[in-house]
């Protein structure tokens, strides 16, 4: 089975695009997507609990960036931040208000498989102003994965009080490494 994200993640991104560019924008994005992607994300009724191919999701949001953005992936980042705000504020609002960035980030590996049907996320290093994760078990992870994941995680950290977050992606399963290394640092 292809690597999938939970329907709720897809639906908030669809909402983000729809709020910004409306039905006409969606028509433009659909016009550049493959038949497989269209079938996966628009050819069926997707619920919060459905699984959605992560690759099709990324094709959709990268297409939005190419059509409406500057081609610098800022729209991919913005959509991930929006998803973090909607998803995390819904479920973890009170928790985020009282916890520290590292406390929040340390909990993410435990909920990873609620949001993805593949991959093992583990903490490689955790400090009060730094977190390093290893994401393994997803050798065919799609292109631009790190932009989505790191923007979401950094936004979660920001909601938990982190200032000036910066992210990095050192190793990558797409280059044959056994894991992707995701790092987040903040003040």
- 136 binding Zn ion? (CB under 5 A): no
80 by Cβ neighbours in 10 Å (0-12 / 13-18 / 19+) ranks as: buried
CA distances, 13 to each of 38, 46, 112, 124, 150 (Å): 15, 13, 18, 29, 15
Window of 29-37, 97-105, 116-124, 174-182 that interacts with Zn ion by CB under 5 A: 174-182
Task: Establish how many alpha carbons lie within 13 A of residue 82's alpha carbon, considering only the half-sphere containing its beta carbon.
Answer: 20
Please report how close the Cβ of residue 129 comes to Zn ion at its closest, in angstroms: 23
Q: Which of the ranges 90-98, 109-117, 154-162, 164-172 carries the binding residues for Zn ion, by CB under 5 A?
A: 164-172
Among 180, 183, 184, 185, binds Zn ion (CB under 5 A): 180
CB of 121 to Zn ion, least distance (A): 12
Q: Quick one: 16 or 54, whose CB is closer to Zn ion?
A: 54
Q: Check residue 142 and report its DSSP letter.
A: P
Total residue count of the chain as it appears in this document? 187
Phi, psi of 54 (to 5 degrees): -65, -35
Q: Does 172 bind Zn ion (CB under 5 A)?
A: yes
CB of 132 to Zn ion, least distance (A): 13
Chain residues in the site for Zn ion (CB under 5 A)? 172, 180
């Amino acid at each position: 089975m292809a690597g999938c994200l939970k329907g709720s993640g897809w639906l908030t991104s669809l909402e983000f695009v729809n709020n910004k560019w409306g039905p006409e924008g969606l028509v433009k994005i659909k016009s550049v997507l493959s038949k497989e992607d269209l079938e996966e994300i628009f050819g069926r009724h997707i619920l919060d609990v459905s699984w959605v191919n992560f690759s099709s999701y990324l094709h959709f949001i990268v297409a939005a960036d190419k059509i409406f953005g500057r081609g610098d992936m800022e729209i991919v980042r913005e959509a991930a931040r929006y998803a973090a705000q909607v998803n995390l504020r819904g479920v973890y609002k009170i928790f985020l208000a009282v916890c520290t960035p590292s406390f929040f980030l340390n909990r993410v590996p435990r909920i990873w498989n609620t949001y993805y049907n593949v991959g093992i996320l583990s903490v490689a290093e955790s400090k009060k102003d730094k977190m390093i994760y290893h994401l393994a078990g997803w050798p065919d992870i799609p292109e631009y994965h790190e932009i989505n994941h790191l923007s979401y995680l950094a936004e979660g950290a920001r909601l938990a009080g982190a200032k000036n977050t910066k992210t990095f992606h050192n190793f990558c399963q797409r280059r044959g490494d056994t894991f992707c290394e995701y790092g987040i640092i903040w003040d």
